[in-house]
Every structure is written in C-alpha cells, then in structure tokens.
Structure 1
Amino acid sequence: MSLIVKICGLSTPETLDAALVGGADMVGFVFFPPSPRHVTLDVARALGKQAKGRAVKVALSVDADDADLENSIDALRPDILQLHGRESVARVRDIKQKFGLPVMKALAVETRAELAALPGYAAVCDRILFDAKAPKDATRPGGLGAVFDWHLLEGLDLKLPFMVSGGLTAANVAEALRITRAGGVDISSGVESAPGIKDPDMIRAFIRAARATEELTT
C-alpha cells in the first residue's frame, strides 16, 4: 500500500495547486477561527472546486458543533472529516452517523498513557492521526511545529490506517516513517515560511522527500 501524503492548512489557490501538482494524496482545510490557517466558507468553496477529483479533500475542525460542521461540509464537500479537538468517542460516532462521511480522529501523544484511548476511537472512526500534544497555554491543538516521541508508536498493532503529524519536515520525514511504520504523513507548519503562509517550494520538497521513502522500502 502506497504512502499517503497530506498537506494541511491550505488556504490559497497557488499553494493548493503546488500540493496537487506535487502529488499530494490528501489536502486539508482548517475550519477553526483561532488558527492562522482558517478558511472562510467562500474560500473553502472555491478551493474545494479546485481540488475536486484531484486529491482527497479533508475538512479539519476542532470541537465544532453540528451547525458549523454542516456549514463546512456544504462549502467544501469534503471526502473525510478530521476531528482535531477533544471530541469523545461518542461524539465521533455521532458525527459519522449524522453526516455520513468517513472520520479521521487526531490523538495528541506525549506519553504511552495517551494510547489507552486508542481502542475506543479505533472502533468508531476510519483513520487515526497521531499528533504532538500542544502546550497547556496553546490557542490551538495542532499546527505548532512540535514533534512527539515517534518511538511511542513502535510496534503499534492497529488494524486501522494511521498517519503521523507534528513537526514534520522534508529533513525528518524519513526518520519518522522508519520508526513508526505509519501509512501516511501530515504536514502543515513544516511547509510554511511564516504561520499560515504556505511555501510552494517547501510543499514540493516535502512531497518529494516523503515519496523517496517509498522507493527505499519497495
């Protein structure tokens, strides 16, 4: 199974095009106002049309209510929902049932103790995304450029597809994949020149670096 590369937090036609032409499998759009990567519904609608049929569209939300989820789904027409907040197992199950879309749940990892929640989420969602835990004073749960200890995922026996994120760059993605054996990688701040400002050259370089790891394992 080939590696899935996701570029998240896209907000302009130019950077989205860099991800699409560069060969990203998934493109993520953030619906969370505190984030510098937040997109309005109008922008999401335009970018969604641009990406349609070219990559899997991901709508990222953080503890959103049903009305906000409905608005983002109506605008983007996503293929999958990414829940990046403190959504409970029951909430994840309800969202999947209500909106009829696959769900990817982000789990913040700092110690092995966080993995205790994994079986519950794995039973109700379609994909798991492991991310670094945000500092207590952070205004958002992800996109902070922090790396977690990838060794926590070594030997992970998870039947569900999983991805890793958090502080990834073109320079360290091979090491992250070597340790975790993840089926996918997700990057946001690691392809930015400033918070929320994606760099097309960095996007292309990351995708190339991630793809190079596939060549080493085939």
Structure 2
Amino acid sequence: MADTCVKICGLSTEPTLDAALDAGADLVGFVHFPKSPRHVTLEQGRGLAQRARGRAQRVVLLVDPDDALLAAAIEAFDPDLIQLHGQETPQRVAEIRARTGRPVMKAVGIAAVADLRALPAYAVVADRLLLDAKPPPGADLPGGNGRSFDWDILNGAELPAGTMLSGGLDSGNVGTALARTGLVAVDVSSGVEIRPGEKDPDRIAAFVAAARRRA
C-alpha cells in the first residue's frame, strides 16, 4: 500500500517549513491571502518557495485571484501547484489553469451530501480536488478554521483519484479519517498549530507520522 500523501499548509517561517520537509511532507503550502493569520507576502513566499524547491511540491493558496494577482504569485512563488480556495467557478478554474500553465487544486467546502454535487464539474477542470469543511456563516476565512465535516458523507461517493481531505485534522484523528473515507491524501493547517498561524515542528512531525501509520 502506497504511503499517504501529506500536505502541510499555511507554512510561514523557515523553521516550520524545514520541519515539514524533514518530516517528509509531499506538499508544502503557502497562503497568500491578507485576511489569513498564515498570510505570507510575495517576497516572503519567494524565499520560502526557493528553500523548498526540489524537496516537496510547492503550493500557493489563493482566494478568488484576479489575473494580476495570479501573475504576481506565479512570479514570486514559482509554484508546482496552485490551490484555489475561494468561490472560483469551474470556468474560472479552467481559465486559471490555461493562463498559468500550472496544475490546479480546487478546494470545495463540504457540509452536507448536497455539496458533493459540485465535484464532477470541478473534477473535469482541476488536477486535484481538496474537500474541506465548509466555513461557518460569516467566517472571514474560507478554510483553516479547524472544523471537520461528517466524513461519512463521502460513503459511496465517486471521488477522483488523488482527492485530498482537509478540515479539522490532527495527529489524533487523521488515521480514523483516512480509514473512514478511504482517501489516501490529507491536508493540515490548524491541526499542527499552537495558535492560529503559529505552526509547531513537533506537531508537524507527529501528523506526518500518524498519517503514514494508517492500516
């Protein structure tokens, strides 16, 4: 059985990035969204992305980016993957993928079975889907809220290969989440933090180890 694919998102310092790389994370994510406590500037992101080059796939997370922001983010981060975490339509996802020439991962908020209806349209245009807990009403952030959704919603769902699970995961529940959903890729941010935006190297290592211990 192949190892679980693990993404550590919201990295913003060299020590925590190094912790994720040393732990063997497959993907490292950098958030460029000023409202987020995990926001990194283009210049900060440039240095972090260069540091991770060749050691893991580098992901830049953007929320409803316009073309100017896309161009600036591509130039600074030179990402291996663009994560779209806003209200981007399937048409916009396809446009971004074509415009940038980079693979795209689309995050989709899940709270009920009905939310799965959006997945086929995105699966056609995105290289990967990320299923995250839908944010609570009025939330400032589209993700990274430390919430999980009912994983049993996914029972019987036909999900594209590589679909990634996110939302409220930590080292204590990631094994259960993988077992219940049957997915083999996970994404974590708040679950490896001491407080919003402050990653903990020990929690990062523990999460990667727990994800790879799945049965």
**TM-score category of the 2 structures, normalised to the smaller one:** over 0.9
Query: Equivalent residue of 1:155, what SS?
Result: coil
Q: Which residue of 2 aligns with 1:30?
A: 31
Cα deviation digits, residues 140-175 of structure 1 (max 9, x gap): 110000010001112322234201000001000011
Q: Which residue of 2 aligns with 1:168?
A: 169
Q: Which residue of 2 aligns with 1:189?
A: 190
Q: Which residue of 2 aligns with 1:208?
A: 209
Q: How many pairs were matched up?
A: 214
Calculate the TM-score normalised by the size of structure 2.
0.98
Query: Which segments of structure 1 move beyond 6 Å, counting only runs of 4 or more?
Result: none
Distance (Å, rounded) in 2 between the aligned partners of 1:4 and 1:81: 17
Query: Equivalent residue of 1:39, what SS?
Result: coil
Letter in 1 for 2:162: P
Q: Contact (CA 8 Å) 1:151, 1:179: kept in 2 or not?
A: yes
Q: Which residue of 2 aligns with 1:66?
A: 67
Query: Equivalent residue of 1:24, what SS?
Result: coil
Letter in 2 for 1:203: I
Calculate the TM-score normalised by the size of structure 1.
0.96
Q: Contact (CA 8 Å) 1:45, 1:76: kept in 2 or not?
A: yes
Letter in 1 for 2:92: R
Query: Equivalent residue of 2:213, what SS?
Result: helix
Cα deviation digits, residues 23-62 of structure 1 (max 9, x gap): 0000000010000000001110100111000000001011
The residue correspondences of 1:80-99 to structure 2 (distance < 5 A) are 80-99=81-100
Percent of aligned positions that are identical:
55
Letter in 1 for 2:176: E
Question: Structure 2: any 5+ residue segments left out of the alignment?
Answer: none
Distance (Å, rounded) in 1 between the aligned partners of 2:79 and 2:3: 22
**1:66 to partner: Cα distance:** 1.0
Distance (Å, rounded) in 1 between the aligned partners of 2:155 and 2:163: 13
Distance (Å, rounded) in 1 between the aligned partners of 2:59 and 2:15: 18
Q: Which residue of 2 aligns with 1:129?
A: 130
Question: Structure 1: any 5+ residue segments left out of the alignment?
Answer: none
Distance (Å, rounded) in 1 between the aligned partners of 2:180 and 2:101: 34
